[in-house]
Chains A and B, each alone.
Chain A
Amino acid sequence: MNELRTDSGDTSTGTKTPARVTGIGRVLIAVYGVLALAATGRSFVQIVSKFDEAPVAYALSALAAVVYIVATIALINRGAAWYRVAWITIGFELLGVLVIGTLSLVDPELFPHDTVWSFYGRGYLFIPLVLPILGMWWLTRHAPARTARDGAAA
């Protein structure tokens, strides 16, 4: 119970290959996973029960859900390619939450139906706004080039 050395991460995986799945990154991934689940669940409900009402908003919800799932997977996997995917998906999320969030404030008529990103993710405790920023911060500190190159085989 006294082994507190898991911070560095590598000791806990028992391998020498540096993974991004270390330390606080695990928490980030877990939160991404939860958000992916929440977004998927919501868009599932929206599409099944009332897609006709707002096809654009609900298609956007579904797209957001898929992007969250891909981001979660990209964060878990190692390698330069996945690293790039993580950047793209997380960047897309930040763009989405900023653009849709602003639009929903400026012109509420445009998005009468809630998406994950409406009002900067208000319906999700603003997690969609904070998470991409945390994700990017974390990615810059875990670039595969700086840690090692052997994960790039993926």
Chain B
Amino acid sequence: MIEWFTYLQLGVAIIAGLLCLGLGIAGRKPTDLSMGATALVELLLIVQLVVAIVAPFTGNQATGSLLEFYTYLVSAILLPLAGAAWALIERSRWSTIILGVVCLSVAVMVYRMLQIWTVQGV
């Protein structure tokens, strides 16, 4: 796990989440903007997955449980997909709010993943 990348990812997920919540509260249906923000969150999660797989080979070992880490990561990867599927089926402002909820949930999960990877040994 690369720390700066994870913090970047955390920031993007929070901003995307707040953006979608804001757009949803303003009454917007899912648009390219909110869907794009969610897609970016998903893309970064995929990158995170690749990083997590490669990192141990470069000596960057997780200090905590890998099982727990991957449970979070896989769940996090599923969330934006589920949210986006919902947004495509159900084109209302509430879907935009759900995209926001999804992105913020991903932010929480990324933070937990960072904790599991870095501070479990303490």
Q: Do A and B bind each other?
A: yes
Binding site for B on A (CB under 8 A): 1, 3-4, 6, 12, 23-24, 26-27, 30-31, 33-34, 37-38, 41-42, 44-45, 48-49, 125
Q: Inside 8 A of A6's CB, which chain B residues have their CB?
A: 92-94
A-B contact pairs, 13 of them (CB 8 A): A1-B29, A6-B94, A12-B91, A24-B94, A26-B95, A27-B98, A30-B101, A30-B102, A34-B79, A34-B101, A41-B75, A45-B67, A48-B67
Check if B65 sits within 8 Å of A27, measured CB to CB.
no
CB-CB nearest in chain A for B98: A30
Q: Are A41 and B71 CB-contacts (below 8 A) given A27-B98, A30-B83?
A: yes
Q: Please name 15 further chain A to chain B contacts, defined as beta carbons within 8 Å, in addition to the given A6-B94, A38-B75, sorted by A numbering.
A: A1-B29, A4-B27, A6-B93, A12-B92, A23-B94, A24-B94, A26-B98, A27-B97, A30-B86, A34-B79, A34-B101, A34-B105, A41-B71, A49-B65, A125-B108
| A24 and B72 alpha carbons, distance in the complex (Å) | 27
Name B74-105 residues within 8 Å CB distance of A: 75, 78-79, 82-83, 86, 90-95, 97-98, 101-102, 105
| A34 and B17 alpha carbons, distance in the complex (Å) | 14
Binding site for A on B (CB under 8 A): 27-29, 31, 65, 67-68, 71-72, 75, 78-79, 82-83, 86, 90-95, 97-98, 101-102, 105, 108-109
Question: DSSP majority for the A interface?
Answer: helix
Check if B78 sits within 8 Å of A37, measured CB to CB.
yes
Q: Inside 8 A of A4's CB, which chain B residues have their CB?
A: 27, 93
| A48 and B68 alpha carbons, distance in the complex (Å) | 10
